[in-house]
Amino acid sequence: MTENSAAALSRRSALISGTAVVGGLLIGSGPAAAAPEPDATGTALPGFIPVPADDIDSVCVPAGYVAHVLAPWGQPLRTTGPAWREDGGNTAAEQSRQIGTHHSGLAFHPLGRGPRGSRHGILVIGHEYADSALLHLDGGADLTTSAVDKALAAVGVSIVEVRRRGDAWQVVGSPRNTRVTGATPVTFTGPVTAGHPRLATGGTPLGVLGSSTSGNTPWGTCLVAEENFHAVFGTDDTAWHPTETQRRYGLSASGHGHRWHRADPRFDLAVSGNEPNRFGWVVEIDPLDPRSAPVKHTALGRFSHSGATVTQSGGRVVVYSGDDQDGGHVYKFVSARPWRPGRAGGRGPLDEGTLYVARFHDDGTGAWLPLVHGRGPLTGRLGWTDQADVLLRARQAADALGATPLDRPQQIAVDPRDGDLYCALANSAGHAPCASPASARSNAVRPRRSNPYGQIIRWREDRGDAAAGRFRWEVFVLAGDPAYDDAVQLDSSGMFASPKGLSFDAGGRLWIRTGISGHVQNRQGGGHDRLGNNALLVADPGTRTIRRFLTGPRGAEITGAALTPDRRTLFVNVQHPGERSAAWGTPTPRNPRAVSNWPDHAPGGRPRSATVAVSRSDGGVIGAS
């Protein structure tokens, strides 16, 4: 155990007591959401027999639970829509009328009050990216304009009406069903408008890219976070060199191998240097209005948003978000005024407010630093033009303020009982090419210099007020296998690595979703061999008891999760089953099933990301005793 690891684990501070919050739940929110019932036992302990870590090509749930596939990639949105082709032969036009791929964020919006809202609703499903090896007939070998168009149609968001009939959920072929893709027209609000010079490309702003976790707002809309958008940009122009801002945002000539720039100049960095500035925002979508345009809220800053968790403070909206990069920061946005009168007067609650970034001190205290032009180092004399410039370069502004670099901060969850906040830190390789110099240094909140497993931290805002300027923090759990790291205090029923998604249910249980990379998943030696496939786990915040609830198929991450208001159904997103794996191999056009053939297991098929519906055989509350 390192000195920093020991210090982190010994910090079991009694956080200052605070008040409960109304947001940050797995349960659907908004005007139609029913009030959740507390557990009869009053405990947040996991109430099921944990499933073992495994490497089988299936979704496994505890005894007494059932899971069925509800909304897989390629399912038509309407009953008259184009059928799924298991050979990958659907066109771009067909894909735009089907559920997208690589399911990520997930939110449930009930349709109706009371029991009806738990049997009928709308799912908002994010689609983070598209894997050419599985998306196309030829595995993406011939990257044509039509191939890029299909990839753009496969990402973004699917809005799908679902209904429970008897014991099973079904997708309803409804006029409400629609898609937001990488080519959908979008609008901008806040300090960075669509007409801003740094967004100018000569073309209409289009698309939502890198759709990560989704969060419901109190007024019934959904926030979608744009994560690793930089991956689809690149160039073959050897004269192109990144600016410091482009480097800081991960933009490079090679990109992540998607090669879209070879068929679509919109993604060529040498042609359209401003196009990346249109991405990396929090996007608001109205799931009840399929004709409405997605709105990108620039007051919340531009970075690799791994979530957008909404809560309130005195009627004002507070949105927490992590920046998913090695050495990234944690941010929160506090609206300028209460949201109810603002919306009544036609003003958007997310258009005006203050963006803050967190500094974690080694003594367990912390402070929120405002990213405001003219304050501290963010002045014209030091090269900051205006507030729009600060928000467009939020990462660099956070660096200038001395924000704490973290191990890939992911989704943030709010405990509904006491307002404590939890943040998943996925992992760290030590230093990323796009990181700031400060990210190479360890600190108390990232105690392991090289951290392949990740951890979860928690903090309590001063006076329990989400808008407060100070907080107290501690490490909640270090992830990993104690056989490889004696600082890890987990047993075989709760071991995990690379936490990416966090959500609370109304009973106070913390649900943890993992995203171990295929480069290390199930590979013998190196610390991941006993952890199995990626999983959904449940933690009791009081005792720190953690139990494995669900495991996914080979090559998949467990991404989004959402409960119905009565907590009798849990929707879970399974992302990229069958992706390249060090343990199982690489899918090819001749054999896309090399790693996985879930969920269809068709002899001539291919793996498909999907939303799964989980319920108890006895009809009880998910996760409870």
pLDDT tops 60 at residue 259: yes
The three-class DSSP label of residue 246 is helix
pLDDT tops 50 at residue 21: no
169-196 core/surface letters (b: 16 or more CB in 10 A; e: else): bebbebeebbbbbbbbebebbbbbeeeb
CB count within 10 Å of CB 372 equals: 15
Asked if the structure places residue 141 within a domain, the reply is: yes
Share of the chain above pLDDT 70, in %: 91
Asked if the structure places residue 381 within a domain, the reply is: yes
- Tokens standing for 176? 């409400």
**Closest Cα partner for 65 from 572, 591, 594, 598?**
572
Asked if the structure places residue 72 within a domain, the reply is: yes
How would you classify the pairing of strands 421-425 and 409-414?
A: antiparallel
Residue 440 pLDDT class (50, 70, 90 cuts): low
Asked if the structure places residue 260 within a domain, the reply is: no
Residue 28 pLDDT class (50, 70, 90 cuts): low
pLDDT value, residue 441: 67
For 373, the domain range is 3-227+280-616
424-443 core/surface letters (b: 16 or more CB in 10 A; e: else): bbbbbebbbebbbeebeebe
pLDDT value, residue 17: 31
The three-class DSSP label of residue 310 is strand
Dist CA 592 CA 175 (whole Å):
33
pLDDT value, residue 3: 47
pLDDT value, residue 25: 63
Residue 79 DSSP code: T
Counting the structural domains of the chain, the total is: 1
pLDDT value, residue 435: 66
Residue 589's Cβ-count burial label (10 Å; 0-12, 13-18, 19+) is middle
Residue 406 pLDDT class (50, 70, 90 cuts): very high
Residue 34 pLDDT class (50, 70, 90 cuts): very low
Residue 515's Cβ-count burial label (10 Å; 0-12, 13-18, 19+) is buried
pLDDT value, residue 101: 99
Q: Quick one: how far is CA 531 from the chain centroid? A: 22
pLDDT value, residue 92: 98
pLDDT tops 90 at residue 76: yes
CB count within 10 Å of CB 49 equals: 11
pLDDT value, residue 157: 98
Per-residue pLDDT, averaged over 416-440, amounts to: 82
Per-residue pLDDT, averaged over 59-88, amounts to: 98
- Tokens standing for 550? 């669900």
Residue 27 pLDDT class (50, 70, 90 cuts): low
pLDDT tops 80 at residue 270: yes
pLDDT value, residue 160: 98
305-344 core/surface letters (b: 16 or more CB in 10 A; e: else): bbbbbbbbbeebbbbbbbbbbbbbbbbbbbbeeebeebee
pLDDT value, residue 13: 41
pLDDT tops 70 at residue 419: yes
Asked if the structure places residue 253 within a domain, the reply is: no
pLDDT tops 70 at residue 594: yes
The three-class DSSP label of residue 339 is helix
- How does pLDDT run across 150-198, given as a tens digit for each residue? 999 999 999 999 999 998 999 999 999 999 999 999 999 999 999 999 9
Dist CA 227 CA 395 (whole Å):
14
Asked if the structure places residue 421 within a domain, the reply is: yes
- Tokens standing for 297? 């809220």
CA 462-220-298 angle, to 5 degrees, is 65
End-to-end CA distance of the chain: 36
How would you classify the pairing of strands 120-127 and 103-110?
A: antiparallel
Dist CA 299 CA 440 (whole Å):
29
The three-class DSSP label of residue 587 is coil
pLDDT value, residue 81: 96
The values of phi and psi at residue 76, to 5°, are -65, 145
Residue 289 pLDDT class (50, 70, 90 cuts): very high
Range of lowest pLDDT (34-43, 136-145, 353-362, 582-591): 34-43
- How does pLDDT run across 92-104, given as a tens digit for each residue? 999 999 999 999 9
Per-residue pLDDT, averaged over 421-434, amounts to: 83
Dist CA 206 CA 181 (whole Å):
9
Share of the chain above pLDDT 90, in %: 85
pLDDT tops 50 at residue 211: yes
Asked if the structure places residue 313 within a domain, the reply is: yes
- Tokens standing for 259? 């090669």
More confident site: 8 or 579: 579
Tell me the residue type at 61: V
Transcribe 422-487 into DSSP letters: EEEE--B-S--TTS-GGGGS-BTTB--SSBSS-EEEEEEEGGG-TT-SEEEEEEEEE-B-TTT-TT
Asked if the structure places residue 168 within a domain, the reply is: yes
The three-class DSSP label of residue 571 is strand
* CATH value at residue 504: 2.120.10.30
Residue 344 pLDDT class (50, 70, 90 cuts): confident
pLDDT tops 90 at residue 321: yes
Give the chain's mean pLDDT: 92
